[in-house]
Amino acid sequence: MLVDDAVALVPSIPGRRVLLGVAGAPAAGKSTLARKLVAGVLERLGPDTAAYVPMDGFHLSNAQLDRLGLRGRKGAPETFDVDGYVQLLRRLRTDRERPVYAPDFDRRLDEPVAAGLVVPPAARLILTEGNYLADDGPGWAEVRDLLDDLWYVDAPLALREHRLLRRHVRGGRTESEARAFIAASERPNASRVERTRAHCTRILVPTPDDTWTDAP
């Protein structure tokens, strides 16, 4: 059971903290897995022992994307504040005396939300997830160096694109607009992410009953 493996990563030494990353293409199910792992660790080890900090909180705002002419590429590596993300991961490693506030991402607003999440000082396991955690691009390679372990969710293309279409339509796009955005942005991003699969220590595939298993 994956929760058992997450619990096994939790340091037994007081004051130590572990960062577990979950990478994968857009709509692979990274956030669902990360949240379930956090819930499972909290149930086993008690309140405040684990926390969830997604990379998506470091999306550039839509105003900044418009300024940079990148709105149509939202979700690409250059549309994130990777330096801010790296600094947060470093702080999570070292600052165990005070709560650490982190940005979240609101899909209804399609915008990051400052200080939407908090990591309590007692947290010993941090789950972070995002597309580019295993990437070698400028800034992103530093992310991998800050993680103690890195898993990859390898969901089938048809499942991912079905989820993306539903996500973008719910977000306000028409079906044709959603399909165009998937073709122009989501697919190229997914191709880049898929090339980083080999950098991850564990490959997980979704099952029909909404769980995950190790890839054969």
pLDDT for position 208: 85
pLDDT for position 62: 97
Is-contact 72 121, C-beta < 8 A?
A: no
pLDDT for position 216: 85
Short-list 116, 120, 146, CA closest to 134: 146
Residue 212 belongs to a domain: no
Residue 216 belongs to a domain: no
Residue 14 belongs to a domain: yes
- Residue with tokens 């939202």, as numbered in its chain: 74
pLDDT for position 29: 96
Residue 113 belongs to a domain: yes
pLDDT for position 133: 98
CA–CA distances in Å: residue 62 to residues 69, 73, 129, 158, 168: 10, 11, 21, 28, 15
- Is the alpha carbon torsion for 90, 95, 96, 98 positive or negative? negative
Residue 215 belongs to a domain: no
Domain containing 95 equals 2-205
pLDDT for position 1: 86
pTM for this entry: 0.95
pLDDT for position 210: 81
Digitized pLDDT (tens) for each residue of the chain, 216 residues in all = 899 999 999 987 777 899 999 999 999 999 999 999 999 999 999 999 999 999 999 999 999 999 999 999 999 999 999 999 999 999 999 999 999 999 999 988 999 999 999 999 999 999 999 999 999 999 999 999 999 999 999 999 999 999 999 999 998 999 999 999 999 999 999 999 999 999 999 999 999 888 999 998
Give the HSE-up count for residue 194: Cα atoms under 13 Å, Cβ half-sphere: 13
Residue 79 belongs to a domain: yes
Distance in angstroms (rounded) separating the CA atoms of residues 17 and 32: 22
pLDDT for position 14: 74
DSSP state of 69: T
Distance in angstroms (rounded) separating the CA atoms of residues 38 and 53: 10
Residue 32 belongs to a domain: yes
Distance in angstroms (rounded) separating the CA atoms of residues 146 and 3: 22
Can you point out the beta strands (E) in the chain? Answer: 18-24, 50-52, 100-106, 111-119, 125-130, 149-153, 202-206, 212-214
pLDDT for position 15: 75
pLDDT for position 46: 96
How many other C-beta atoms lie within 10 A of the C-beta of residue 97?
Answer: 8
Residue 214 belongs to a domain: no
**CATH code for the domain in which residue 162 is found:** 3.40.50.300
pLDDT for position 81: 98
Estimate the share of the chain in helix, then strand, then coil, as percent rounded to the nearest 5. Answer: 45, 20, 35
The CA-CA-CA angle for residues 148, 151, 155, to 5°, reads 165
CA–CA distances in Å: residue 182 to residues 17, 76, 172, 204: 37, 12, 14, 23
Write the DSSP string, 108-134: TTTEEEEEEEEE-TT--EEEEEETTTT
Number of folded domains that form the chain: 1
